[in-house]
Amino acid sequence: MCTLVRPIAAALAGMLALGACGGGGGDTAAPTTTTAGPAPTEAPSTTVSPTTGAPPTTARAAAPTTTPAPPVTTATTRPSPAGVTALPAGDPASVAAALAEAEPALREPGTTPAQFERLGKAQQVAYRQLVANPGWLEDVLRRLPPALGPVVRANVVAGSELRALTKPRTELPPWRIVAPAPADELLGYYKEAEARYRVPWAYLAAIHLTETRMGRIRGTSTAGAQGPMQFLPATWAQYGEGGDINSNRDAIMAAARYLVRNGAPDDMANALFNYNRSQRYVRAVTEYALLMLNHEGAYRGYYHWDVYYRLVDGDRLLPVGYSG
């Protein structure tokens, strides 16, 4: 938000990501928008100087009198920290196969926690691949049962809007990635806030997903926003009611109070716009929220979305334990 959250915004398609995310499948991974701090999916990064080499010599030249300086690696060629991996390559057939399995299974009553984790991660990868390659969409849809079309299109719209808010970076972000609180615990906080403030629980979950991948991203935005729902300290002083800015529960309650102050639940579009002053952000959060309201299984999939960060040479997975 502008007064509430930040401009750290997602890379994070890309979360995600976005989120971290900035890009489909949640830009983390995270979004680069203007709220009350920067969106944690795409924190700004510093450009590294290009590589330089020693001056050329001829076959008859004497050995150089100075030792050539070692090459300076750019951010895109520097070895990645342990566990940081590139987004897998895909094609329309593999994306369609992943979504044909994941989307129905996420909504089946017998799906187990372990299956939710596997399906959610596969779903995220497929959407990130699809958002990065928009020309695949119609081919993918032709390969899927017609009933899945609206779900796929909604996820692609959300991921595409977040990706449009971010630019690829040259360096990995200075975040820590931690394991999220249990899915049922977070769901309990969203529904507690709904009961107290009448804000539909899924909008709070969608904000949490978009801002910090449900608390996975730890770091202060360039504007100074903090915590799982990305509050500026000054806004937190107004809406935090003395709570802990880094607490999932306290931050979710404060977000609900802030949304109510700006029109929720009657005018969710205005409330979301005041949280992060971008219509793209509003559309993305709304699409994710409506999918979760339609079926709680969608939440179970999104809960397992990882933090991906968008570099100029492709997305990178930032695993739990990453420390930039």
Q: Which of 82-86, 186-190, 238-242 has the lowest mean pLDDT?
A: 82-86
Give the CB-side neighbour count of residue 293, counting CA atoms within 13 A: 14
Residue 100, pLDDT above cutoff 60: yes
144: left (phi over 0), alpha (psi -120 to 50) or beta: beta
Q: What is the pLDDT of residue 25?
A: 57
Bigger pLDDT: 1 vs 250: 250
Question: Given this model, what pLDDT does residue 82 score?
Answer: 72
Mean pLDDT of 262-276: 98
Taking 50 as the threshold, does the pLDDT of residue 156 lie above it?
yes
Distance CA 197, CA 200 (A): 9
| Confidence at residue 221, expressed as pLDDT on a 0 to 100 scale | 84
Helix (H) or strand (E) holding 19: strand 17-20
pLDDT, position 222:
78
CA distances from 256 to 31, 248, 314 (A): 20, 12, 35
Residues paired with residue 308 on neighbouring β-strands, in sequence order: 317
pLDDT given at position 200: 98
Mean per-residue pLDDT, 28-54: 31
Average pLDDT over residues 100-116: 96
Of the two residues 227 and 52, the one the predictor is more confident about is 227
**Residue % of the chain over a pLDDT of 90:** 72
According to the model, what pLDDT value does residue 32 have?
35
Tens digits of residue pLDDT in 6-15: 333 333 333 3
pLDDT at residue 296 above 60? yes
Q: Is 104 exposed, middle or buried (0-12, 13-18, 19+ CB in 10 A)?
A: middle
Confidence of residue 310 (pLDDT cuts 50, 70, 90): very high
State how far the Cα of 236 lies from the Cα of 274, in Å rounded to an integer.
15
Sign of the alpha-carbon torsion through 223, 227, 233, 234: positive
Residue 277 confidence (pLDDT)? 93
Interval 20-25 mean pLDDT: 45
- For the stretch 190-226, pLDDT in tens is 999 999 999 999 999 999 999 999 999 999 887 899 9
pLDDT reported for residue 81 = 76
Share of the chain above pLDDT 70, in %: 75
